[in-house]
Chain A
Amino acid sequence: MAKSKTDASRTLPLAGFHGGSSTVRLEAAAPAQRISLRASADDVPALSGALGLDLPVKPKTSATANGRTALWLGPDEWLVIDEGTVSPGGRLMQAAASSGVPHSAADVSHRNTAILVSGPGAARAINAGCPQDLSLTAFPIGACSRTVLAKVEIVLLRTAEDAFRVEVWRSFSDYAFGLLAEGAQDAAL
């Protein structure tokens, strides 16, 4: 038990989880800052300038710059992830607020956690529970989508030919990790 307030440490949602197979590697991603951003098309340029990256406006695309990634979720909705060191105060929230245009930004840094799936069997492992076509033509590097993984909703981002980032709500993360671990076993058969 922590002796004082300064001894307290945060336990990450997927701390201690491990899984994978000979063709798939599963890792819990490091903590990151995230905002759920809603804005109309007219305000996209100002928000892009404030966040330091071009918010994607085409379906299923993402943009990465300065350690930040913006994922297109809907015509007026983005998930912005900042993988820099987590500092209190919410840099993303401040950046969005500095845009000076109407928008809705909600800090969802602790609502989500992420699982990194990589290796030659990564797509097959995710397809164990996800109905999307993950071939490179339909889902190229940088493609992203909100979709389902069996019974939970995920946001999927392809970071490399054989690597994906699976963003999932923290309370669903043990289910998602367990399912991906099963998928990883099947992908190695």
Chain B
Amino acid sequence: MLLIHCPYCEEDRSELEFRWAGEAHIARPENIAAITDEEFAEYFFLRNNEKGLTYERWRHIHGCGRFFNAARDTVSDRFLMTYKAGLPKQSIPPAEEATAVAEEKTVETWEATEGDAR
């Protein structure tokens, strides 16, 4: 079972208690009435959907109910770190990052085995 560290409960909890809540650190434009449609679309609809290290919002919905931010590797599904909502983007500890990069190479991905990238 995948365990996720909740920064509010200060404990590792089962993934069953959590919900994914989209990409993190997307700031709402302060002059939202003045921006163009393209700029609004960029802010409102378009997401990076990165492969590898991503910053995401998660919610401990069946626990303390709080939203928080997490750095996750979307290839290996490893959570590198979690931190409280409202904090600026945190840098990932080098040791964690090295482990994640090494792990990515051992994960059997669809692209490597089935996809066009083979």
Contact = CB atoms under 8 A, between A and B. Distances in A.
B64 A146 contact: yes
Contacts, number: 41
A59 B1 contact: no
B53 to A, nearest CB: 27
Contact of A131 (B11, B14, B64, B65): B14
Interface in A130-173: 131-132, 145-148, 153
Contacts of A82: none
Contacts of A147: 13, 17, 62-63
B10 to A, nearest CB: 6
Nearest to A58: B10
A74 B11 contact: no
Interface in B15-30: 16-17
A145 B8 CA distance: 12
Interface of B is mostly: loop
Contacts of B65: 73-74, 77, 146
Contacts of B10: 59
A: interface residue count bin: 10 to 19
Nearest to B9: A59
Interface string A93-137: 000000000000000000000000000000000000001100000
Interface in B51-96: 62-66
A146 B16 CA distance: 12
Given A73-B65, A148-B62, A132 B14 contact: yes
A74 B60 CA distance: 10
Contacts of A131: 1, 13-14, 16-17
10 contacts: A59-B11, A73-B64, A74-B8, A75-B66, A131-B14, A131-B16, A131-B17, A145-B63, A146-B64, A147-B63
